[in-house]
Amino acid sequence: MAMTLLTATILSGILLSLPVCLLLLGRRNNHAWKQWTYLLDAHGAREHRRMASVFKDEGEMIDSAYARALVARYRATTEEAIRLLDGSYRFLSAVCNDRLELLRQMTDLARMVTSMVPWRPVAVTAFRLSRLSGWAALFYAAHFLLVTARERFMLRLYILRLGFKIALAAVFRGTNRVKARPDLDAAWILINTGRLDFHTLSAETLESYRVLLLSWAAEREVASV
């Protein structure tokens, strides 16, 4: 009985101290990240700006497409709104496939880097879809349980790939619901929520791309020394 009580006390202490440990680890990780950012060379900076420009243009086209569909909902016919919504989803799906392919390539390249730059985990509070935020919270905790920066980077890429699929699926469900009931506000809200989370995932992907470029630059710096 005494042993059981002692075990329960120890476990309670561990669970209570876990949030504090995660907070301290997060602060240390952010400090390490700032120390590495200066290593991004001119070539890496240009590549990051190019990719950021591509993401920005695609994001604006996605927003414009869905804005036209929403305007058609109130000012045009139902058929026109559904047609524009279908076209918007096809474009979003194509961009999503590009994002997934980029993340796959980043995963392959990350395996070739001998020393990965420290980085922060994916922000949990940035997501609006409950399923996506739930997965992000789980991976946020797992981030601090992993040992190496490479393992954490791979985990980051995995949650981003999963997140894009969840966001696209939400938009798909919302689009189908609009086709069934064009006046259903909840369906349009679901589409907008998936679209916003898609943008958040794109921003996190761009940040991951910068982490990879920094890692390559840091590796070259070490090699030259």
DSSP readout, 53-90?
HHHHHHHHHHHHHHHHHHHHHHHS-HHHHHHHHHHHHH
pLDDT score of 101: 96
More confident residue, 167 or 138: 167
Domain range annotation of the chain: 41-224
136 residue type, one letter:
A
In whole angstroms, what is the distance from residue 129 CA to residue 136 CA?
A: 11
pLDDT, one tens digit per residue, over 176-208 is 999 998 778 999 999 999 999 999 999 999 999
pTM of the model: 0.77
Lowest-confidence segment of 118-122, 162-166, 219-223 by average pLDDT: 219-223
In whole angstroms, what is the distance from residue 140 CA to residue 29 CA?
A: 13
pLDDT, one tens digit per residue, over 25-57 is 444 444 433 444 444 455 677 888 899 999 999
